Amino acid sequence: MLRATRGQQQAQATKRTWNMVLFSVGGIKLAARTEDVGGISPWTRSISVPSRTPFVHAMLKRDHDVIPVYDLATRLSRTLQGDPLLCLVARHLDGPMAICIDAEVPSLETVDVVAIRPSGSEDIETLGMVTIGGEDVAIVALQRLGRSRPDVVKS
Amino acid sequence: MTLRGRHNSTNTLVETASFLVVRLGASYLALPAAGVRGVLTEARHTQSVTALGDIYHPVDLAQRLSVIADLSGLEMRTVLYSNDHAQGAIRVEQVVGLTDVERKDCFPLPAQFQGDEQHWFMGMMLYQDQLVLILNPAWLLGGLGVGVAASVRQTEQISATPSTVGESC
């Protein structure tokens, strides 16, 4: 019992930092919690799917799976940069979801939780903002990306 | 009818579903084969087609799916399709083939698709390494009813769709 309590305390102590994947979409730096990222690989041609869901109009074949594509670049009104582009697989609550990101190879960062502040922008689902390398970076809530768009909630 | 060959499952004990696979623009679509009444080679742009006493009303599938399709090519075909309630003549860019698919190889549309497409498609499958979307016949022919009785039937079909979406084949 005492050991378990100590273990819980240690676990709480280690949760004071978040491990982040830092990536970019159309030149905008974004971050995501590492546990929300299922992997990063070269982008392959997506398959167009007739759809009325905002920013979900394609699917991607990965090995024996087919996963939906979320067009984050279009949502942010940005044009993807570099070649070859990369695929970030988000661990979305509805299942894995592919996002095409810039060719710039993502990096890993550790962020102190107290440095995370609320996001002032409602452009995208975030877990907050953090300053990395002197640049303000939104922490994208990959698990619920596309779930809380105002036009979806209100309809 | 110039089908590219029929792909049968070799195991007759497994539960399978039959589909006619067609192409419209960049999309590969599957129609449950039980409803296919014929495939015409001649162009019938906006006219109804009468076959064996049944009238097949034109279905502009490209417009309904908001797909850009070139229906002027040599491989354009008109698929005559019916269910218990209505008949439709569906123009497609190409008839790709007939296939039998094990039900375990049909998958539901991912939950991230949250719009009207949930009604358009019953699920998806892979065919010759292509992703194929399985059309929902109730939606496909849903707008073809004539008169009050048909309209009521159409409403019933559409409202019943969500419960059948989970059944991909």
Whole-number Å distance between alpha carbons of A96 and A49? 17
Does B119 contact chain A (CB < 8 Å)?
A: no
Whole-number Å distance between alpha carbons of B67 and B108? 21
Can you give the pLDDT at residue A136?
93
Question: Is residue A12 domain-resident?
Answer: no
**Which candidate, A34, A46, A129, A15, places its Cα nearest to that of A91?**
A34
DSSP letter string, A13-27: HHTTEEEEEEEEETT
A-chain residues near B112 (CB < 8 A): 53, 56, 68, 70, 92, 94-95, 97, 146
Q: For B116, name the nearest residue in chain A, comparing CA atoms only.
A: A52
Does A148 contact chain B (CB < 8 Å)?
A: no
Contact A70 B112 (CB under 8 A): yes
Is there a contact between A57 and A108 (Cβ–Cβ < 8 Å)? no
Can you give the pLDDT at residue B53?
85
Q: What ipTM is given for this predicted complex? A: 0.83
pLDDT band at A6, cuts 50/70/90?
low
Does A153 contact chain B (CB < 8 Å)?
A: no
CATH code at position A51: 2.40.50.180
Kindly report the nearest CA distance between residue A35 and chain B, in angstroms.
20
**Which candidate, B32, B2, B6, places its Cα nearest to that of B18?**
B32
Q: Examine the pLDDT at A14 and tell me if it is beyond 60.
A: no
Pair type for strands A17-25 and B94-102? unpaired
Q: For A153, name the nearest residue in chain B, comparing CA atoms only.
A: B114
Does B111 contact chain A (CB < 8 Å)?
A: yes
Q: Which residues of chain B have a pLDDT value below 50?
A: 1-2, 146-166
A4-22 average pLDDT score: 71
Whole-number Å distance between alpha carbons of B22 and A82? 36
What percent of chain A is predicted at pLDDT more than 90?
Answer: 77
Task: Domain ranges for chain B, please list them.
Answer: 6-165
A83-106 average pLDDT score: 97
Question: Is residue A78 domain-resident?
Answer: yes
Helices (DSSP H) in chain B: which residue ranges? 61-65, 117-120, 137-140, 147-165
Average pLDDT over chain A, rounded to whole?
A: 88
* Superfamily covering domain B6-165: CheA-289, Domain 4 (2.40.50.180)
Question: Is residue A4 domain-resident?
Answer: no
Q: What is the reported pTM?
A: 0.81
For tokens 């982008």, the residue is A43
Question: Is residue A120 domain-resident?
Answer: yes
A94-118 average pLDDT score: 96
Q: What is the sign, positive or negative, of the torsion defined by CA atoms of B166, A146, B158, B37?
A: negative
Question: Is residue A35 domain-resident?
Answer: yes
Record the tokens describing residue A79, joined without a space. Answer: 């044009």
Q: Examine the pLDDT at A7 and tell me if it is beyond 80.
A: no
Boundaries of domain holding A139 = 18-149
Can you give the pLDDT at residue B85?
83
Q: Examine the pLDDT at A66 and tell me if it is beyond 50.
A: yes
Whole-number Å distance between alpha carbons of B144 and B161? 16
Q: What is the sign, positive or negative, of the torsion defined by CA atoms of B75, B131, B119, B35?
A: positive
Record the tokens describing residue A99, joined without a space. Answer: 């996002």
Whole-number Å distance between alpha carbons of B90 and B72? 14
Question: Is residue A155 domain-resident?
Answer: no
Does B112 contact chain A (CB < 8 Å)?
A: yes
Question: Is residue A2 domain-resident?
Answer: no
Question: Is residue A123 domain-resident?
Answer: yes
- Which one-letter amino acid corresponds to residue B80? L
Q: Examine the pLDDT at A18 and tell me if it is beyond 80.
A: yes
What percent of chain A is predicted at pLDDT more than 70?
Answer: 85
Record the tokens describing residue A135, joined without a space. Answer: 């640049």
- Overall domain count for chain A: 1
Can you give the pLDDT at residue A145?
95
- Count how many residues are written for chain A: 155
